[in-house]
Amino acid sequence: MRFAVTVEVTGLEGISDPEGQTIERVLPSLGFEGIGQVRVGKLVSFAMEAASRDEARRRAEELCRRLLANPVTEQAKVMVVPAGEA
């Protein structure tokens, strides 16, 4: 079966996020008020062939650990849906 996998990689709580801080700092000069807690992460999507949704999730989580996210500074959230449903 074919699955559509989406991985959200975001900084762990307490880890500095310079890109988010820069966006936040420039907002008032663009006329945007009342916006805070800006955080910037990475969104990775891909298609995966797997025997089941559980297998797809397991392999996607292993891929996060080995390549997509740095567990010291980042957390990864994996979403798996059958291809075509997203």
Q: Which helix (H) or strand (E) holds 77?
A: strand 74-82
The C-alpha atoms of residue 52 and residue 81 are separated, in whole angstroms, by 10
Q: Is 10 a binder of a second copy (CB under 8 A)?
A: yes
Amino acid occupying residue 20: G
Q: Is 39 a binder of a second copy (CB under 8 A)?
A: yes
Among 35, 79, 81, 86, binds a second copy (CB under 8 A): 35
- The Cα diameter of the chain in Å comes to 52
Q: Is 70 a binder of a second copy (CB under 8 A)?
A: no
The C-alpha atoms of residue 7 and residue 44 are separated, in whole angstroms, by 5
**Minimum distance from residue 13 beta carbon to a second copy (Å):** 13
Q: Write out the residues near a second copy by the rule CB under 8 A.
A: 8-10, 20, 23-24, 26-27, 30, 32-50, 59, 63, 66-68
